[in-house]
Amino acid sequence: MNDELSPPPASAASPSPAPAETPAVDVAGSAAAASHKPADHPAIASGYVGVLLVNLGTPEAPEPRAVRRYLTEFLNDPRVIEEGGIVWQFIRDGFILRSRPRRRARDYAKIWNNEANESPLITITRSQCLRLAARLEPIGRPIITDWAMRYGEPSIGGQLRALLARGCDRILLVPLYPQYAAATTATACDEAFRTLLQLRWQPTLRVAAPYYDDPIYIDSIARSLEAECGKLAFSPDVILASFHGIPKDYFLKGDPYYCQCAKTFRLLRERLQFDEVKFMMTFQSRFGRAEWLQPYTDATVKRLAKSGVKNLVIITPGFAADCLETLEEIGVENAEIFHRNGGTNFAVIPCLNDSDLGMDVIETVVRRELGGWIRDPD
């Protein structure tokens, strides 16, 4: 754990395009191993390194039926809902899955990429994968990059099997969550391990570590905020760093998520040279009646507006790509809360996404985690 140990205050998709085929060679670039095979040996692709970017997921369409399928998978995950007893099952099946899909479908429709007919999360994650492949190409080694979603398509299991079929006997799983949580990183690992359980010939698997305090991540978030604020027609009185929340009980049971968010926030504040009045940490997206990490984003936005704050900016450093929680929950719902309670100017800063700054972060994480499997050309 980090130095931020105090508890919180009580207050749509088709698989990505396949990279161009390259000759099957070993990781060091030698094809000599092929000469040792008997003449009648069956052709087996091997010697490739796979890199699989993973994000949370999204419905296939902004329609109630598609949203219901997505929510059913999501809400059946014991990493997401730990107390999944009979009472919860009754609430989930009798109420949530009957009413929430219609509301959520309307929310997804507000942000949907209609041109590509897919969620922005799909569009951005695919682009991150393609841009990462281009950045790794100079290594000159057999690396195949792809992407998957924990819920929905393309699935982690399906993409792992596809990488295996293309000869990847070493695979790096990269959960695109800067801060670790059991409900995000761990469940992505669970799904990968479930796939490995079914395989006789398993690949060697690595999981990229969270990067909540990586200097390039902190600097990229800060530089993005500075650049975007420079484009605004107003100067923010307050800037909120809004992280996705988790139930407080999960933190008290040992989840390091709050500590890692707090360290990210502290490092950002030091890098930006903001005081505690100018720059605040909050948590969004709470669900149900249980207490979650506080202070809550929506309640803080309302309080600030009522207290006379007229100019507000929100960043979401816990998200590697814009999605429903950033584009609709922050960009629409919280903007409405701010204006309804007396605020004037509101802006949400885009996630790093597939920008140069965002790709600098992903490339740095991937190259570090591939250490020993690849080496840059001499």
Domain annotation covers residue 353 = no
Tell me the pLDDT band of 35, cut-offs 50, 70 and 90.
low
The last residue of one of the domains, among 82, 111, 140, is 111
CB 59 within 8 A of CB 152: yes
Model pLDDT for residues 8-29, shown as the tens digit of each residue: 444 333 344 444 443 333 344 4
Q: Examine residue 337 and state whether it is found in any structural domain, yes or no.
A: yes
Compute the average pLDDT of residues 210-219: 98
pLDDT band at 376 (very low <50, low <70, confident <90, very high): low
Q: Tell me 137's DSSP state.
A: G
For residue 319, tell me if it sits in a domain: yes
Query: Is 132 a domain residue?
Result: no
Q: How far apart (Å, rounded) are the C-alpha atoms in residues 169 and 166?
A: 9
- Give the predicted TM-score (pTM) of the model: 0.88
Asked if residue 33 has pLDDT above 70, the reply is: no
Which residues have a Cβ under 8 Å from the Cβ of 113 and sit 6 or more positions away? 119, 120, 122, 123
Average pLDDT (325-335) is: 98
Tell me, yes or no, whether 286 lies in a domain.
Answer: yes
Instruction: Please provide the average confidence, as pLDDT, over all residues in the chain.
Output: 91
Least confident span in 38-42, 139-143, 213-217, 280-284: 38-42
> Over the stretch 282-327, which tens digit does the pLDDT of each residue have?
999 999 889 999 999 999 999 999 999 999 999 999 999 999 999 9
By the 10 Å C-beta count (0-12 exposed, 13-18 middle, 19+ buried), 108 is classed as buried
Alpha-carbon distance of 74 to 95, in angstroms, equals 15
In a domain, 295, yes or no: yes
- Please, what's the b/e burial string for 259-291 (b: 16 or more CB within 10 A of its CB; e: otherwise)? bbbbbbbbbbbebbebeeeebbbbbbbbeeeee
Q: Is residue 273 part of a domain?
A: yes
Pairwise CA distance, residues 14 & 254, whole Å: 37
Q: What does residue 192 show for φ and ψ, rounded to 5 degrees?
A: -65, -45
How confident is the model over 63-90, as pLDDT tens digits? 999 999 999 999 999 999 998 889 999 9
Kindly tell me the sign of the dihedral angle through the C-alpha atoms of 328, 329, 334, 336.
positive
Report the CATH number at residue 221. Answer: 3.40.50.1400
Domain end point (choices 111, 146, 169): 111
Q: Are residues 335 and 222 in the same domain?
A: yes
254 CB contacts (<8 Å, ≥6 apart)?
Answer: none
Q: Is residue 76 part of a domain?
A: yes
Domain range spanning residue 101? 64-111
Is residue 106 domain-shared with residue 228, that is, in the same domain?
Answer: no
Q: How many domains does the chain have?
A: 2
Please give the radius of gyration of the chain, using alpha carbons only, rounded to the nearest integer.
Answer: 22
DSSP state of 198: T
